[in-house]
């Protein structure tokens, strides 16, 4: 018996060891304020120079409708780390205070949330429990970096090894040659490293080197601090080597700002290239899944006479614009239009993800969290808002199956997207877009597609009431970012950032005001209902006595129903026609006021209605109440 028990335990151990060996390493790369325009593979702007990322995206899966969970850095990163829409754990914007200080991601679910009092687990916590070595290099932005108290930095949130900082300086427990050290501060750039992005990439490479000393798979989170401001220095070799730009609609300073942004994006590409080279050195490429996304869209660009925008006084050249673009998407960082939340996104896993896969359906950064956990052998918790992408990435299914919609809530604006439909609303208005037909959000279809709008609104309402009650932000994104809603404000010159200088046909001014959709060409409807007329009383039905040439002609040019049935008496027959229901359901001769007629339904979708002739479905009082 003991012999069999030992053999059985040994078999289980071997199976577990084999499963461990087959689990992939996972690298999650998260860029900062990186606009949709700025992945070369999209072909929007020929000046975008990202050959490494283009090759990974084309060799794996490109998400054409990739979304961040928020239009701002802190909440987007919190959502990614936790795998949930950040509003659900009281962390909706950069200044959120969930009980531990402004901008600090909670460690315990706050009161009023669905898991109040329970620990907030990050994806690093979960991967560590699954036996992964966890590493971090880049911008944390979920609490203090370089702090002597580590409770809010990566050390306390599941990461074994880290470099965390905001610029060239940071804190780490790694050296650049793959060795571990006690937590220490590092000041400035080491010799030979051009900028903060390359430095963060090098620490990522160092973690990969270190991971090879053991037998654990690794999870590396690489949130590169770019192309977010501060801008690249003009002494930086990436800026100096990047060609000067001359866009048809840009002033010289805008050309230069764009050059600065694209130079920093080029350094992102090289940092990713360094990580890929390191994987190949260790023979790890085939067993490493790469997931890439930006935390939100590119930010607003100042220089217009529009009050209230963050980042500088009106007239300030450039302001918070980092040189990245969202063209041709409407909106920008801080707004829930596509430019604020639709981001570059791709996945790569050699020999596992089918090369050349293009995913048109919606994918979110929360899906990246769920996919990471599933790839690591974990079970996706019920509270996660993302789905496992692996079946779609590996070709096992043709379409992503998503049970729940995706929701957004930011600065008094909300969005829900289901399939191709997106409902945007503020305190003042609602907008409905069909993103398959109108990806740039130019046409509001609230009136023309009222039923769809109502369905999405109900979904959004049901989700909204589940959120914890918070003190609302003073900022209103629908006012701060009104430009994308209404076009140029009065007395303001059109902003050339929203001219599309990249593609044919010739550039057009953008954004344009949102139009109302033309009402669909609904037909007029005329129903003629005669009274006690027999089957054979029309010429077209064989009558020799009755002369009905007009009706005969209509029947001849249309459709005749030779087996058409009505009720045997007037009132019930008319009630059935008006309601589409058997008269017996009314349990009486008169049609009750609770019944809804097709005239009432048609009025709801914009029809004018009239009834001329015999009513005969209710008493005189009800006639007045139910007149069309």
Q: List, for residues 443-474, the tens digit of each pLDDT value.
A: 889 989 999 999 999 999 999 999 998 767 66
pLDDT at 593 over 90: no
pLDDT at site 20: 53
Assign 367 a pLDDT band (cuts: 50, 70, 90).
very high
- Which of 47-56, 555-564, 566-575, 616-625: highest mean pLDDT? 47-56
Please enumerate in sequence order all residues whose Cβ is within 8 A of that of 618, keeping only pairs 6 or more positions apart, or say none: 590, 591, 592, 626
Lowest-pLDDT range, 13-17, 335-339, 585-589?
13-17
Lowest-pLDDT range, 6-10, 77-81, 234-238, 605-609?
6-10
Lowest-pLDDT range, 271-280, 387-396, 570-579, 590-599?
590-599
> Is the residue at 87 inside a domain?
yes
pLDDT at site 463: 97
Assign 440 a pLDDT band (cuts: 50, 70, 90).
confident
Query: Is the model more confident about 134 or about 306?
Result: 134
Q: Rounded to an integer, what distance in angstroms lies between the CA atom of residue 363 and that of residue 345?
A: 9
> Is the residue at 103 inside a domain?
yes
Q: 3-class SS at 598? A: helix
pLDDT at 310 over 60: no
Assign 144 a pLDDT band (cuts: 50, 70, 90).
confident
Q: Rounded to an integer, what distance in angstroms lies between the CA atom of residue 81 and that of residue 91?
A: 12
pLDDT at 522 over 90: no
pLDDT at 603 over 50: yes
258 phi/psi in degrees, rounded to 5: -65, -40
Assign 623 a pLDDT band (cuts: 50, 70, 90).
very low
> Is the residue at 47 inside a domain?
yes
Assign 304 a pLDDT band (cuts: 50, 70, 90).
very low
Please enumerate in sequence order all residues whose Cβ is within 8 A of that of 398, keeping only pairs 6 or more positions apart, or say none: 392
pLDDT at site 327: 83
Residue 149 burial by CB count (10 A; 0-12/13-18/19+): exposed, middle or buried?
A: exposed
Lowest-pLDDT range, 356-370, 373-387, 495-509, 551-565?
495-509
> Is the residue at 28 inside a domain?
yes
> Is the residue at 287 inside a domain?
yes
C-alpha dihedral sign at 181, 283, 50, 339: negative
User: Of 357, 381, 396, which residue constitutes the final position of a domain?
Assistant: 396
Q: What is the dihedral of CA 86, 87, 93, 95, to 10 degrees?
A: -100
Tokens 């639709």 -> residue: 342
115 phi/psi in degrees, rounded to 5: -125, 35
> Is the residue at 35 inside a domain?
yes
User: CB of 372 within 8 A of CB of 384?
Assistant: no
Lowest-pLDDT range, 33-42, 47-56, 276-285, 550-559?
550-559
pLDDT at site 537: 85
Q: Which two tokens stand for residue 392?
A: 């779609």
pLDDT at site 53: 98
Pairing mode, if any, of strands 421-425 and 413-418? antiparallel
- Which of 2-16, 101-115, 280-294, 607-621: highest mean pLDDT? 280-294
The pLDDT tens digits of the residues spanning 483-497 come to 445 443 333 344 444
Residues 494-504: what's their mean pLDDT? 42
User: Of 375, 396, 417, which residue constitutes the final position of a domain?
Assistant: 396
pLDDT at site 520: 58
Query: Is the model more confident about 40 or about 545?
Result: 40
pLDDT at 13 over 90: no
Secondary structure string (H, E, C) spanning 402-431: CCCCEEEEECCEEEEEECCEEEEECCCCEE
**Residue 515 belongs to what H/E stretch?**
strand 515-516
Assign 317 a pLDDT band (cuts: 50, 70, 90).
low
Please enumerate in sequence order all residues whose Cβ is within 8 A of that of 120, keeping only pairs 6 or more positions apart, or say none: 82, 89, 105, 106, 107, 108, 109
Q: Which two tokens stand for residue 41?
A: 């593979």
> Is the residue at 501 inside a domain?
no
Q: Rounded to an integer, what distance in angstroms lies between the CA atom of residue 386 and that of residue 590?
A: 52
pLDDT at 86 over 90: yes
Query: Is the model more confident about 423 or about 441?
Result: 423
**How big is the CA angle at 555 (ends 549 and 556), to the nearest 5 degrees?**
85
Q: Which two tokens stand for residue 113?
A: 């949330």
User: CB of 130 within 8 A of CB of 378?
Assistant: yes
The pLDDT tens digits of the residues spanning 23-33 come to 999 999 999 99
In sequence order, the β-bridge partners of residue 302 are 318
> Is the residue at 495 inside a domain?
no
pLDDT at site 183: 87
- Which of 305-314, 365-374, 610-619: highest mean pLDDT? 365-374
Please enumerate in sequence order all residues whose Cβ is within 8 A of that of 7, keeping only pairs 6 or more positions apart, or say none: none
User: CB of 264 within 8 A of CB of 191?
Assistant: no
User: CB of 197 within 8 A of CB of 204?
Assistant: no
Pairing mode, if any, of strands 170-174 and 161-165? antiparallel
Percent of the chain with pLDDT over 70: 82
| CATH code of the domain containing 8 | 3.40.720.10
Assign 514 a pLDDT band (cuts: 50, 70, 90).
low
User: CB of 402 within 8 A of CB of 387?
Assistant: yes
Q: Which two tokens stand for residue 594?
A: 């609770």
pLDDT at 627 over 90: no
User: Of 378, 396, 414, which residue constitutes the final position of a domain?
Assistant: 396
Q: What does the mean pLDDT of the chain come to?
A: 84
**Residue 228 belongs to what H/E stretch?**
none
Query: Is the model more confident about 79 or about 255?
Result: 79
Q: Rounded to an integer, what distance in angstroms lies between the CA atom of residue 93 and that of residue 108?
A: 18
What's the domain count of the chain?
A: 2
Range of the domain at 361: 2-299+319-396
pLDDT at site 148: 66
pLDDT at 511 over 50: no
494 φψ region: left (φ > 0), alpha (ψ -120 to 50), beta (else): beta
Lowest-pLDDT range, 46-55, 205-214, 361-370, 607-616?
607-616
pLDDT at 405 over 80: yes
- Which of 300-314, 319-333, 489-503: highest mean pLDDT? 319-333
Please enumerate in sequence order all residues whose Cβ is within 8 A of that of 64, keeping only pairs 6 or more positions apart, or say none: 358, 359, 360
- Which of 47-51, 95-99, 316-320, 447-451: highest mean pLDDT? 47-51
Q: Rounded to an integer, what distance in angstroms lies between the CA atom of residue 26 and that of residue 373?
A: 10
Tokens 């789905």 -> residue: 387
């Amino acid at each position: 018996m003991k012999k069999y028990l030992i053999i059985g335990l040994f078999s289980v151990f071997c199976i577990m060891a084999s499963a461990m060996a087959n689990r992939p390493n996972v690298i999650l790369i998260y860029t900062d304020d990186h606009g949709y325009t700025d992945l070369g593979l999209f072909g929007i702007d020929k000046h975008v120079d990202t050959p490494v990322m283009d090759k990974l995206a084309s060799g794996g899966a490109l998400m054409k409708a990739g979304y961040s969970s928020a239009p701002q850095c802190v909440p987007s990163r919190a959502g990614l780390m936790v795998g949930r829409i950040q509003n659900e754990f009281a962390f909706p914007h950069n200044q959120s205070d969930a009980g531990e200080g402004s901008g600090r991601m909670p460690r315990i679910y706050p009161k009023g949330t669905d898991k109040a009092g329970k620990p907030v687990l990050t994806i690093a916590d979960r991967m560590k429990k699954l036996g992964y070595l966890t590493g971090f290099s880049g911008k944390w932005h979920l609490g203090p970096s370089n702090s002597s108290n580590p409770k809010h930095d990566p050390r306390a949130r599941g990461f074994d090894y880290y470099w965390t900082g905001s610029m060239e300086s940071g804190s780490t427990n790694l050296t650049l040659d793959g060795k571990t050290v006690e937590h220490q501060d590092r000041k400035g750039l080491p010799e030979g490293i051009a900028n903060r992005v390359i430095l963060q990439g090098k620490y990522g490479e160092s973690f990969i080197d270190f991971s090879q000393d053991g037998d654990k798979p690794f999870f590396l989170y690489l949130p590169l601090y770019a192309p977010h401001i501060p801008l690249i220095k003009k002494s930086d070799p990436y800026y100096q080597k990047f060609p000067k730009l001359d866009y048809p609609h840009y002033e010289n300073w805008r050309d230069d700002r764009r050059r600065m942004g694209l130079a920093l994006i080029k350094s992102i590409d090289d940092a990713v290239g360094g990580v890929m080279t390191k994987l190949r050195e260790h023979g790890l490429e085939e067993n490493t899944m790469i997931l890439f996304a930006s935390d939100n869209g590119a930010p607003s660009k100042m220089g217009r006479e529009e009050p209230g925008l963050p980042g500088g006084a009106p007239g300030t050249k450039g302001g918070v614009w980092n040189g990245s673009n969202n063209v041709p998407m409407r909106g920008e960082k801080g707004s829930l239009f596509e430019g604020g939340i639709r981001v570059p996104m791709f996945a790569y896993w050699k020999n596992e993800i089918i090369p050349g896969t293009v995913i048109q359906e919606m994918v979110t950064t929360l899906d990246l969290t769920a996919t990471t956990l599933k790839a690591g052998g974990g079970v996706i918790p019920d509270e996660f808002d993302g789905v496992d992408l692996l079946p779609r990435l590996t070709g096992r299914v043709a379409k992503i199956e998503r049970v729940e919609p995706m929701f957004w809530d930011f600065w008094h604006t909300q969005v829900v997207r289901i399939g191709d439909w997106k409902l945007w609303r503020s305190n003042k208005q609602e907008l409905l877009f069909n993103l398959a037909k109108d990806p740039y959000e130019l046409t509001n279809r609230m009136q023309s597609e009222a039923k769809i709008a109502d369905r999405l609104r109900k979904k959004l309402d049901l989700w909204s009431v589940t959120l914890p009650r918070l003190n609302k932000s003073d900022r209103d994104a629908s006012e701060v970012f009104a430009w994308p809603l209404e076009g140029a404000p009065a007395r303001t010159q059109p902003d050339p950032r929203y001219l599309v200088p990249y593609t044919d046909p010739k550039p057009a001014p953008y954004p344009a005001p949102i139009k109302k959709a033309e009402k669909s060409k609904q037909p007029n409807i005329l129903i003629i209902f005669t009274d006690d007329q027999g089957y054979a009383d029309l010429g077209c039905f064989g009558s020799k006595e009755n002369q009905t040439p007009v009706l005969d002609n209509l029947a001849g040019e249309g459709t005749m129903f030779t087996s058409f049935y009505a009720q045997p008496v007037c009132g019930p027959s008319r009630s059935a026609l008006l309601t589409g229901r058997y008269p017996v359901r009314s349990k009486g001769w008169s049609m009750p006021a609770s019944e809804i007629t097709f005239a009432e339904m048609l009025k709801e979708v914009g029809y004018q209605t009239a009834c001329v002739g015999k009513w005969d479905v209710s008493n005189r009082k009800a006639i007045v109440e139910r007149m069309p």
